[in-house]
Amino acid sequence: MKKEVLMKIFWDPRTPIDFTPGRSQSKVEKSFEAHLREILSPGKAPELERAFALVDEVFPLLERFAEDPLSRTQAETLAGLLEDRARELEALLSELPEGPVREAFSEAALFFGVEAEKLRKGFYV
Whether the pTM exceeds 0.85: the reply is no
Neighbours of 109 (CB within 10 A): 23
Per-10-residue mean pLDDT of the chain, 125 residues long, equals 54 63 59 70 74 88 79 85 93 83 89 90 77
Taking each helix axis from N to C terminus, what angle separates 72-93 and 100-120, rounded to the nearest 10 degrees? 160
**How many Å apart are CA 43 and CA 4, to the nearest integer?**
18
pLDDT of residue 49: 83
Neighbours of 116 (CB within 10 A): 21
Taking each helix axis from N to C terminus, what angle separates 72-93 and 45-67, rounded to the nearest 10 degrees? 160
